[in-house]
Chains A and B, each alone.
Chain A
Amino acid sequence: MQELLKTQRISIAVLIVGLLLLVGLMVRQAPKSPFTMEATEMLAHMPDFEHVTVAMADKMKTDTNNYIFVDLRSPYDFEVKHIDNAINIPTAFILDDEHISTFNRYLENNIIVVLYGQSERESISPWILLTEVGYSNVKVLLGGFDCYDGDITKCNPESAQYDYAKISISGALKSDSNAVTAPVKKKKKAIPVKKKKKREAEGGC
């Protein structure tokens, strides 16, 4: 078994590789991205988030030990009118260092942060962003400040306020006074499910 000789070489080579790996692991920087959640995870968890209704908000706003309202609107709008005990952090500045430390403090103290904008929509993207960077204690005020302020039409925004199908069909029927043709039919498109091609297939050798 003379081939067993010269094992020093392997040991040295393996050790060099091992060392390189160690150096690599140490040099390796943690990814800069502060995101702790992938978009897909966020999407999967979205139904779990319970939004804050105005009725709940009325109780919460006095309970400052457990809840804090964050007004995402401009300082001007905030000055004009805001929810009691709310703090003002315009959307553009939510990731500023001072606000991040504020959010961190709330997270540590288990204080629920309720975001609101003028409409509910304004708080949606900030909520997604904050949740994804790790603030699981952030919630959204249903209907936004409009609803809180008494505009009940804004309180349930995603409900259909018109009978879409009926309006478009009745409209079409009316327009089609001779009643020769059927109501305008929308064309539904069959969308072929197309997977993105991952790899160009080209012959081996």
Chain B
Amino acid sequence: MEAKNIKFRHVYWNPYFGGLMLGLLIAATFYVTGRGVGATGGTKATVVKIVDVVAPEHTENQEFYSKYVDEDKNPMKNWLVFETLGILIGAFLSGSIKGRVNFRIQHSPKITSKTRLIFALAGGLFFGVGSQLARGCTSGAALSGSTVLSLAGFITMIGIFGTAYLFAYFFRKLWI
């Protein structure tokens, strides 16, 4: 474990370089499409699609789904779904170049894998709900939002990081 860690610990990009590239990418995205990057949107589309397949009437009656499902509107045929696909491919490319692809669970030595997974699930749940309320997650609302100086973007950014700093103490066992 230790040896493996050392092998790929510092092969990451310099964070400022990553930030610069990411910033230029976001600017390019805005330049080409007029909107920013996103991550939860694709996930949401799959949720809607699955619900639509399993219970079509339900999607029609329920207001939240019906926004995304129409006669000729396939929720999967969505900009964000393709983007999400791209993220998966891109990350896999980067990971495989640097030899980071393998099945494993990353967690602090103080907790078990099971605890880690339970908390990961809970964290995902929170993010799922939160991103719907906030109209975007860290990438969609905070990152792309603040780039175009939108108020919502800064609220979300300050909200997420502020809360996380406030509550960091209570979750320290999970990480340190």
Residues of A within 8 A of B (CB): 2-7, 9-10, 13-14, 17, 203-205
Chain B's nearest CB lies how many Å from the CB of A182? 52
CB-CB nearest in chain A for B137: A205
Instruction: Say whether B131 contacts A10, CB under 8 Å.
Output: no
Q: Could you tell me the distance in whole angstroms from the C-beta of B135 to the nearest C-beta in chain A?
A: 3
Q: In angstroms, how far is the closest chain B Cβ from the Cβ of A177?
A: 63
Contacts of B67 in A (CB 8 A): 203
At the interface, yes or no: B75 with Cβ under 8 Å from chain A?
no
Is there contact, CB below 8 Å, between A13 and B21? yes
- For A13, the chain B residues whose CB sits under 8 A away are 17, 20-21
Determine chain B's interface SS by DSSP, over half rule.
helix
Kindly identify, within residues 122 to 148 of chain B, every residue whose CB is under 8 Å from any CB belonging to chain A.
131-132, 134-137, 140-141
Chain A residues near B100 (CB-CB < 8 A)? none
Q: Which of B15, B21, B132, B136 contacts A3 (CB 8 A)?
A: B15
Set of chain A residues within 8 Å of B12, measured between Cβ atoms: 3
CB-defined contacts of B38 to chain A, threshold 8 Å: 205
Residue of B nearest to A1 (CB): B10
A9 pairs with B17, CB closer than 8 A: yes
Closest 7 pairs between A and B when the two form their complex, measured CB to CB: A204-B135, A205-B41, A204-B136, A10-B17, A2-B10, A205-B40, A6-B14
- Contact A4/B14 with A10-B20, A205-B38, A205-B44 known, Cβ cut-off 8 Å: yes
Complex interface bits, B29-52 against A, C-beta within 8 A gives 1, otherwise 0: 000000000111100100000000
A residues within 8 A CB of B14? Answer: 3-7, 9-10
The answer for the CA separation of A13 and B13 in the assembled complex, in Å, is 13
Q: Is the interface of A mostly helix, strand, loop or mixed?
A: helix
A41 to B172, CA, bound (A): 59
Can you list 20 A-B contacts with CB-CB less than 8 angstroms, sorted by A residue number? A2-B10, A3-B12, A3-B14, A5-B10, A9-B14, A9-B17, A10-B14, A10-B16, A10-B17, A14-B20, A17-B20, A203-B67, A204-B136, A204-B140, A204-B141, A205-B38, A205-B40, A205-B44, A205-B137, A205-B140
User: How far apart are the CA atoms of A138 and B20 in the complex, in Å?
Assistant: 52
Contact check, B17 vs A205: say whether CB atoms are below 8 A apart: no
B137 to chain A, nearest CB (A): 7
Beyond A204-B134, A204-B141, 8 additional pairs, beta carbon < 8 A: A5-B10, A6-B14, A10-B20, A14-B20, A204-B140, A205-B41, A205-B131, A205-B136
Cα A5 to Cα B11 with chains together (Å):
10
What's the Cα separation between A1 and B72 when bound, in Å?
A: 55
A204 to B136 Cα, complex, angstroms: 6
* B140-164 to A contact mask, C-beta < 8 Å, 1/0: 1100000000000000000000000
Contacts of A9 in B (CB 8 A): 14, 17
Of all chain B residues, the one with the shortest Cβ separation from A13 is B20
CA distance A6 to B18 in the complex (A): 12
Tell me the bound Cα distance from A9 to B18 in angstroms.
10
Among residues of B, the one whose C-beta sits closest to the C-beta of A14 is B20
Is B76 at the interface (CB under 8 A from chain A)?
Answer: no
Q: Which residues of B contact A205 (CB under 8 A)?
A: 38-41, 44, 80, 131-132, 135-137, 140
Q: Which residues of B are found within 8 Å of A7, using beta-carbon distances?
A: 14, 16
Complex alpha-carbon distance, A160 and B10, angstroms: 84
* Chain A neighbourhood of B135, CB < 8 A: 203-205
A6 contacts B141, C-beta separation under 8 Å: no
Interfacial chain A residues near B10, Cβ < 8 Å:
2-3, 5
Distance between Cα atoms of A53 and B38 in the complex (Å): 65
CA distance A203 to B10 in the complex (A): 39
